[in-house]
């Protein structure tokens, strides 16, 4: 049940990000087919749908969109139907994964699959840069685009990679006990993936990766502090070791435990430090092999197909003005491009289909009601993740590493959405909804709690 919808996500990634009707159509068929199969199994008594509190904001958002369409409050009904289809596919994927995902069963193959996709997609982007390819797969070229990997826009490629990378790191983390020579193939996907994002020159991608690195560093420190305190509690509860037939004095017992714990801690830190140094080294080698000059040139290059900083500020002001006109229910889901020309503050001859800020766009399209639904969902999602954090950091949840990685990936995308419209690219939208579902406590663990 989990494999089919994720296969649809993978297809959308490789099919130009799913921006074409045939591409997202096939992906959506796989997702809706998985949902239909789940419902059929429930009707046959072979499965059971269980309610989760996070479904409530989603249903309320669906009700808002339905009211917009039925009552004629939307500016363009066709645009609302199309946007509703995309949002419905993401919701279907979220429902299937939140019902069927099992961390103990699925963490291994999901992290391995993400690592393989990360490596392949990153190598594709790097090879395109090395060969100075102007088109996707060296064949499909675009006049108004800056392609990278299988995506029409390099910022959307960076958005996809920043969600794949944390999960790819889980595949390497699961093999941290292997000999270092056998560990290298699993360190390669994250290292090459970071190099690919750097070489594409996506500034939004840089910010998202920095956010993910910061969140990961904070969680790693908290994890280490918890492991230290939990080990001390366990060791204090152990029976006294004996020497011959006499127990060791308490001071010697604690000294023995301290030495053993220190040796294990130092060995673990050496392995993790070596892995981090190796990953950074591989990233630098990849960047150097392509050429640092290319990286500097791409950073200095002005993307003529993307709005400037001042243009983005004007787009944000226009979106806010649209919200002020209809603050309750907005102009209708998916209608930003239709309404924007009446509120445009500049005219550079380009057609803007998105606001380059997902937050302001959804605010203009669904108003305060939609914003409250989104805030309610993220509040419930964050509260559930925070409530389960003590068990996650203590290792009491199988599949906990994948859940933490999914949460970190979501954080990166939420930051990137401030300056781009990644969540309007079908492949990235589906991947984001899937990771949001994976980060939640699986049904089995939730019932056991």
Sign of the alpha-carbon dihedral angle for 146, 132, 165, 104? positive
Q: What percent of the chain has pLDDT over 70?
A: 80
- The pLDDT of residue 230 is 56
DSSP state of 153: B
Per-residue pLDDT at 373 exceeds 70 = yes
pLDDT confidence bin for 342, thresholds 50/70/90: very high
- The pLDDT of residue 265 is 62
Per-residue pLDDT at 195 exceeds 80 = yes
Q: Which range has highest mean pLDDT (134-143, 341-350, 411-420)?
A: 411-420
Q: For the chain, how are helix, strand and coil distributed in percent, rounded to 5?
A: 75, 5, 25
Task: Pick the range with the lowest mean pLDDT from 28-37, 174-183, 258-267.
Answer: 258-267
Mean per-residue pLDDT, 429-441? 95
Q: In this predicted model, which residue has the larger pLDDT, 255 or 280?
A: 280
Q: Rounded to an integer, what distance in angstroms lies between the CA atom of residue 433 and that of residue 415?
A: 15
Q: In this predicted model, which residue has the larger pLDDT, 148 or 144?
A: 148
Q: Rounded to an integer, what distance in angstroms lies between the CA atom of residue 399 and that of residue 97?
A: 14
Question: Exposed/middle/buried for 132, CB within 10 Å: 0-12, 13-18, 19+?
Answer: exposed
User: What are the tens digits of pLDDT across the range 35-44?
Assistant: 999 999 999 9
Cβ distance 165 to 193 under 8 Å?
yes
Buried b / exposed e across 238-266, counting CB within 10 Å, b at 16+?
eeeeeeeeeeeeeeebeeebeeeeeeeee
Place of tokens 């970190």: 408
Helix (H) or strand (E) segment spanning residue 266: helix 250-290
Mean pLDDT of the chain: 84
Task: Pick the range with the lowest mean pLDDT from 61-65, 220-224, 350-354.
Answer: 220-224
Q: Rounded to an integer, what distance in angstroms lies between the CA atom of residue 3 and that of residue 37?
A: 13
Mean per-residue pLDDT, 120-133? 88
- The pLDDT of residue 227 is 61
Mean per-residue pLDDT, 222-233? 63
Length of the chain: 449
- The pLDDT of residue 223 is 72
- The pLDDT of residue 408 is 95
- For the whole model, what pTM was predicted? 0.87
Question: Exposed/middle/buried for 85, CB within 10 Å: 0-12, 13-18, 19+?
Answer: middle
- The pLDDT of residue 27 is 96
pLDDT confidence bin for 124, thresholds 50/70/90: very high
Mean per-residue pLDDT, 294-300? 57
Per-residue pLDDT at 32 exceeds 90 = yes
How far, CA to CA in Å, does 204 sit from each of 149, 296, 320? 17, 16, 22
Helix (H) or strand (E) segment spanning residue 371: helix 358-393
Q: Rounded to an integer, what distance in angstroms lies between the CA atom of residue 303 and that of residue 301?
A: 6
User: What are the tens digits of pLDDT across the range 377-393?
Assistant: 999 999 988 888 776 76
């Amino acid at each position: 049940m989990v494999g089919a919808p994720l296969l649809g996500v993978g297809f959308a990634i490789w099919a130009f990000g799913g921006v074409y009707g045939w591409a997202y159509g096939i992906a959506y068929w796989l997702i809706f087919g998985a949902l239909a199969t789940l419902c059929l199994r429930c009707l046959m008594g072979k499965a059971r749908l269980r309610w989760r509190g996070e479904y409530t904001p989603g249903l309320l958002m669906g009700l808002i969109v339905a009211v917009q369409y039925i009552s004629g409050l939307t500016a363009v009904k066709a645009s609302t139907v199309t946007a509703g289809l995309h949002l419905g596919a993401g919701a279907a994927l979220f429902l299937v994964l939140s019902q069927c995902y099992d961390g103990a069963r699925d963490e291994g193959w999901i992290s391995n699959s993400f690592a393989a996709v990360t490596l392949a997609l990153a190598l594709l982007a790097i090879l395109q840069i090395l060969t100075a390819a102007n088109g996707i797969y060296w064949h499909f070229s675009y006049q108004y685009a800056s392609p990278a990997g299988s995506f029409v826009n390099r910022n959307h490629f960076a958005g996809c990679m920043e969600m794949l990378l944390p999960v790819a790191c889980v595949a390497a983390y699961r093999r941290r006990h292997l000999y270092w020579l056998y560990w290298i193939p699993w360190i390669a996907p994250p290292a090459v993936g970071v190099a690919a994002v750097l070489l594409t020159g996506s500034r939004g991608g840089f910010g998202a990766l920095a956010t993910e690195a910061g969140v990961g560093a904070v969680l790693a420190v908290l994890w280490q502090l918890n492991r230290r305190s939990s080990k001390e509690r366990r060791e204090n509860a152990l029976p006294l070791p004996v020497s011959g037939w006499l127990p060791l004095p308490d001071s010697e017992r604690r000294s023995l435990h301290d030495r053993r714990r220190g040796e294990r801690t130092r060995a673990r830190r050496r392995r993790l430090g070596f892995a981090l140094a190796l990953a950074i080294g591989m990233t630098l080698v990849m960047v150097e092999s392509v050429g640092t000059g290319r990286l500097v040139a791409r950073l200095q290059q002005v993307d003529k197909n993307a709005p400037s900083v001042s243009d983005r500020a004007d787009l944000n002001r226009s979106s806010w003005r649209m919200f002020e006109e209809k603050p309750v229910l907005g102009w209708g889901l998916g209608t930003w491009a239709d309404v924007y020309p009446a509120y445009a503050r500049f005219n550079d001859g380009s057609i803007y289909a998105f606001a380059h800020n997902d937050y302001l766009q959804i605010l203009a399209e669904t108003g305060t009601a939609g914003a409250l639904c989104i805030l309610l969902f993220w509040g419930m999602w964050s509260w559930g993740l925070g409530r389960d954090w003590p068990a996650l950091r203590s290792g009491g949840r199988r599949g906990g590493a994948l859940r933490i990685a999914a949460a970190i990936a979501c954080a990166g995308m939420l930051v990137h959405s401030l300056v781009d419209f990644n969540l309007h690219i079908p492949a990235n939208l589906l991947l984001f909804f899937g990771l949001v579902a994976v980060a939640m406590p699986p049904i089995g663990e939730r019932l056991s709690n």
